[in-house]
Structure 1
Amino acid sequence: MIDDIHAARDAALKRLDDADTLDHVTRLQSELLGKKGDLATLKSALGRLATLDDKRVAGQALHEAVTAVEVAATARGEDLRRAEEAERIEAERIDLTEVTSRPGRGHAHLVTQAWERLEDLFVGMGFQIAEGPEVETEWHNFEALNMGANHPARNEFDTLFTDHVPPGGTLGSTVLRTHTSPVQLRAMLAQEPPIYIVAPGRAYRRDTPDATHMPVFHQIEGLVVDEGITMAHLAGTIEAFTKAFFGAGFTTRLRP
């Protein structure tokens, strides 16, 4: 019977060693140490042994076998539990030293992209970029450009007036510029010819915002003041700009 006990023990230990999940170990533990297991069957057979010494020796061997299976089941369960925990930790691990790609920074607004591209094109053709204030005096925005006091563009229904009072000015004498033409004026006042500038920028008109209207919009104007300039230079500049900005398949036409 001792050989049967050792064989049952070794078979139980082998099955526990082959278990690869905690659930498997739990099921084996119930099966091997339960009432229907081989060791339980051997225990019920102790009463059929002939002598007390045989029963004592077999009982001691059976107790040791059951203890060995219980210890092995506990140890195997702990090993698998630690392995599963290590696998989970590894899956959740964050390597703070790992080099990653930088997150995307987005893109410039379409208007900004067009603005920058326009500037690059005209600078490439020899123009300078001119800028001016968006809050302008009425003189720079209207009068110096031959827009007298009765000009329709100076009506409050079209123009946004501000509360800013410039030096020497009066209340209501400043506006949000209605075009970028004051930049041309300021350029001519600030420098002598030759002048080759473009003036991109925001302009403002009183308008109700909707899908196609906004009180702020963008313009670009060009100014050339030099000797020997003709309409041919204007036409050539517009043609070169059109092909560079829109593509070689586009052309222009000037009408008198």
Structure 2
Amino acid sequence: MAKIHPHTKKIHPGKRAKRRASYGVGVNLKTLKNRARKEIKKTDNLKELNEVFKKYLGKRGELTRIFRSLEKLPKAKRIRIGKKVNELKNFLGIKFDQKAEVIKEKTQRKLEEKEWIDITAPGQKISPGHLHPLTQVQRKVEEIFQSMGFSVVEGPEIETEWYNFDALNIPKDHPARDLWDTLYLKIQNPKSKIQNLLLRTHTTPVDVRYMEKNNPPLRIIIPGRVFRHEATDASHESNFYQIDGLMVGNNISAANFKAIIQEFFQRFFEKPVEIRMRPGYFPFVEPGFEVDMTCLVCEGKGCSACSQTGWMEMMGAGMVHPNVFKAAGLTPRQYAGGGWQGFAFGMGMDRLAMMKYKINDIRLFYSGDLRFLVQF
């Protein structure tokens, strides 16, 4: 058995453990401080900084565990070491706040550099809008006819059955009504005096409306939208634009019509074009004829737009029927007596645009595809 020197104080095992704990705490605080400071310095963003914060000052952080271990120390040492732990906590708190400010300022500078605008630099050029190709065609058509003495007239898109059919020599039981698949409108009030409204199938009803209020001689064109209940294909649409023309006087003939239309086509297409007139039937004209021109899409070789014929049907026309004059309250010219006579025609502006820009599908005009529209 070992002997104890008389001058050596015997240490109780429990006290020796507490001494080791206090010594360990002191060493841990110094080491922890240096380690935490290095880790804080290495962080580049707030996320990394927050992870380091949790590691040391979080609920399960190292300083929190040290605080809890102080309970086992004597009061004097607990106060002394607790003060050092608090100082370290405050020190690290200040370091964390300073680093957070540095990161925020750095992030803000990067954001400002990214969003920086040189107010002295010239602005980016905005692509200007432009008119739809059909609108451009309509304005060109109006310009040409106005130069030849025609006036531009408009009319309602919702028509009565009288103006759309009856006044144009198409009686209720006439088989010619089957030429158009008409979109009729439902009347909400059955007691209303206005009956049988429809979406106009052509702009020709405006001819009668105009002649009711204006005495000849006259020259007018009526551009506008019309509607047909029919299947669509490369050269037909259920909704399209038409231009109707009317010229009335004492001695107007088909020769006048041919000269005017030939002049119009040459000005519109800006080059000589070949046209042909074929006999045709339209109830509101007599005689009637259809006007074709060489398909400019395929140069007469045949394509889907002209149904492989090489000719594109451009308009229907003829000398105004006497019954149409009568419906408008005018006296038609018959035999050697007095009265009025004239010609009328109707053509699709869509087909004019197809010929001018060599487009083989009418449906492209209504597709809304900017890749197509920006080319005009």
TM-score by length of 1: 0.57
Q: Distance in 1 between matches of 2:233 and 2:221?
A: 29
| 1:238 equivalent among 258, 261, 274 | 261
Is the Cα contact below 8 Å between 1:165 and 1:174 reproduced in 2? no
Shift of 1:193: 1.1
Answering whether residue 164 of structure 2 is matched by residue 131 of structure 1, we say no
Shift of 1:119: 1.1
Q: Residue 142 of structure 2 corresponds to which residue in structure 1?
A: 119
Distance in 2, Cα, partners of 1:212 & 1:154 = 22
What is the count of residue pairs matched by the alignment?
169
Say if 1:131 and 1:200, in contact at 8 Å, map to a contact too.
yes
Distance in 2, matches of 1:254 and 1:213, equals: 21
Question: 1:169 Cα deviation (Å)?
Answer: 2.2
Matched, 1:249 2:249: no
Q: Offset at 1:214?
A: 2.4
Q: Does 1:103 align with 2:129?
A: no
Give the aligned CA root-mean-square deviation in angstroms: 3.0
Aligned-partner SS, 1:233:
helix
CA, structure 1 residues 165+147, in 2 after alignment: closer, same or farther (shift >3 Å)? farther
Equivalent of 1:168 in 179, 193, 202: 193
Q: Distance in 2 between matches of 1:124 and 1:156?
A: 34
- Provide closer, same or farther for how the CA distance between residues 239 and 155 of structure 1 changes in structure 2, counting only shifts above 3 A: closer
Alignment-mate amino acid for residue 161 of structure 2: E
Partner of 1:228: 251
* Counterparts in 2 of 1:179 and 1:165: CA distance versus 1, 3 Å: farther
The counterpart of 1:182, out of the listed 191, 202, 205, is 205
Q: Give CA-to-partner distance per residue, 1:66-109, whole Å, 9 cap, x none.
A: xxxxxxxxxxxxxxxxxxx89x94x8632346553651233322
Q: Residues 243 and 251 of structure 1 are in contact (CA less than 8 Å); yes or no, is this contact kept in structure 2?
A: no
Q: Given the alignment, which residue of 240, 244, 251 partners 1:217? A: 240
2:231 matched residue in structure 1: 208
3-state SS, counterpart of residue 206 of structure 1: coil
Matches of 2:213 and 2:174, distance apart in 1: 27
The Cα shift of 1:136 comes to 0.3
CA distance in 1, matches of 2:232, 2:274: 33
- The one-letter amino acid of 1:243's match is Q
Residue 183 of structure 1 and its aligned partner are, at CA, apart by: 1.0
For residue 169 of structure 1, give the secondary structure of its aligned residue in structure 2: coil
CA distance change for structure 1 residues 218 and 151 in 2, over 3 Å: closer, same or farther? farther
Q: Distance in 1 between matches of 2:138 and 2:225?
A: 11
- Per-residue CA deviation, residues 226-250 of structure 1 (Å, 9 max, x unaligned), is 2232322211101110100122221
Alpha-carbon distance in 1 for matches of 2:221, 2:120: 50
CA spacing shift, 1:254–1:100, aligned 2, 3 Å: same
Task: Give the superposition deviation at 1:182.
Answer: 0.3
**SS of 2:244's equivalent?**
strand
Deviates further, 236-245 or 92-101: 92-101
Unmatched 5+ stretches in structure 1: 1-84
SS at match of 2:251: coil
Shift of 1:142: 0.2
Report the Cα offset of residue 135 of structure 1: 0.6
Contact kept, 8 Å, 1:238 with 1:252, in 2: the verdict is: no
Where do 1:14-163 residues align within 5 Å? 89=113, 93-96=116-119, 98-100=121-123, 102-152=125-175, 154=177, 158-163=181-186
Larger relative strand fraction: 2
Pair 1:153–1:174, CA change in 2 (3 A): farther
Q: Is the 8 A contact 2:180 2:201 kept in 1?
A: no
Q: List alignment gaps of at least 5 residues for structure 2.
A: 1-108, 280-376
Q: Distance in 1 between matches of 2:236 and 2:151?
A: 30
SS at match of 1:100: coil
1:219 match: secondary structure = strand
Counterpart AA for 2:152:
I
Q: Can you list the C-alpha shifts for 1:129-185, whole angstroms capped at 9, x where unaligned?
A: 111101100000000001111234545981100024796223xx1111111110111
Distance change >3 Å, CA 95–CA 226, structure 1 → 2: farther
Give 1:198's aligned residue.
221
Change (3 A) 1:93 1:152: farther
CA offset digits 1:116-136 (Å, max 9, x no partner): 211111111111111110110
TM-score, normalised via structure 2 length: 0.40
